[in-house]
Amino acid sequence: MVVFAMLGRLFLSFVGYLGELTILVGDVFESIFFGRKRMRLILQQIVEIGYRSQPVVIVTGAFTGAVLTAQSLFQFSKFGMETMGGALVSVSMLRELGPVVTGLMLSGRVGASIAAEIGTMKVTEQIDALRVMSVHPIDYLVTPRFFAMLIAIPLLIGESAAFGIMAADFVGIHAFGIGEAYWKFQMEKFTDLTDVSFALIKGLFFGMIIIIVACHQGMSATQGAAGVGRGTTRAMVYSSLLILIANFFLTLLLNMIFPAGASLG
């Protein structure tokens, strides 16, 4: 009975947390349609979220593609299917690894930073000061970051996937000595625009998760510096978990809409 009671409390807490996130999402969309658009803040956040995240995204994507290529070729070599390594990496980077790895990196770098910044503003009463000056906190703090993330994350995922595929080409063609013509023929045969659609759709959902969770944790921070620290940690952990959970359901749904290999039929 104690175990069931604990599970029940966890479930109710999770449902309550999702409810709070849903309310924040509603406030953001209300701000998008009826609030003031602050282009200067949006551009600043594009630089912070997009431009400054490029090094970590590029390095992560490149080495993810490289290690996936090496592992796949070690296995494919047993069956004489080495030329399929490029196709495997290109599809994997676009449909799964590119969006997920980029989302997880951004949840650590961007989500934690946003939660810490907004949380500090909350505990030092700067958010209350915004309300006194008739500035809506959602309009000023959340919506610019929301817009910036939606603009930046598709580009970051594209970079991650592109560098992962380029690293795969280097490892497969130059390190393992596989014929370039055969390698690229298989890659082009099994990769199409539906795989790009996977990456973009997943990226938009993951970006919204990161921003909403981070801003919610920041605006919910209490108890001074300790509360800001807890909120920062929760923003990173919660957004990462939600990205992994959402990825599973998005994969099932998108495979129904864009079946893998449909273009080969």
Q: Which percentage of the chain shows pLDDT scores above 90?
A: 50
* C-alpha to C-alpha distance for 265 and 263, rounded to whole angstroms: 6
CB atoms within 10 A of CB 210: 32
Please, which pLDDT band fits residue 258 given cuts at 50, 70 and 90?
Answer: confident
Residue recorded with tokens 């810490």: 116
As a whole number, the mean pLDDT across the chain is 88
Please, which pLDDT band fits residue 264 given cuts at 50, 70 and 90?
Answer: low
- Residues 64-123: tens digit of each pLDDT: 999 999 998 888 888 878 888 888 899 999 999 999 999 999 999 999 999 999 999 888
Of 148, 172, 34, 206, whose CA–CA distance to 90 is shortest? 172
Mean pLDDT of 29-37: 86
Rg of the Cα atoms in the chain: 21
Tokens of 242: 């939600």
- Residues 192-231: tens digit of each pLDDT: 888 888 899 999 999 999 999 999 998 888 877 788 888 8
**Residue-level pLDDT at 144:** 93
**Residue-level pLDDT at 262:** 55
**Residue-level pLDDT at 194:** 87
Residue 236 near residue 133, CB atoms below 8 Å: no
Contacts of 220 (CB under 8 A, 6+ apart): 20, 122, 231
Residue 28 near residue 141, CB atoms below 8 Å: no
**Residue-level pLDDT at 77:** 81
Residue recorded with tokens 């959602």: 138
* C-alpha to C-alpha distance for 138 and 148, rounded to whole angstroms: 14
Residue 53 near residue 110, CB atoms below 8 Å: yes
Q: What is the dihedral of CA 37, 41, 42, 46, to 10 degrees?
A: 180
- Residue 191 DSSP code: -
Domain boundaries, the chain: 37-255
Distances in Å between the Cα of 113 and the Cα atoms of 89, 91, 101, 174, 211 are 31, 31, 18, 39, 11
Mean pLDDT of 7-36: 86
Please, which pLDDT band fits residue 63 given cuts at 50, 70 and 90?
Answer: very high
Question: Buried (b) or exposed (e) across 245-257, using 16+ Cβ within 10 A?
Answer: ebbeebeeebeee
Count of positions (residues) in the chain: 265
* Burial tier of 219 (Cβ tally within 10 Å: 0-12, 13-18, 19+): buried
Coil, strand, or helix at residue 124? coil
Tokens of 162: 């592109």
**Residue-level pLDDT at 133:** 87
**Residue-level pLDDT at 263:** 52
Residue 60 near residue 162, CB atoms below 8 Å: no
Residue 202 near residue 101, CB atoms below 8 Å: no
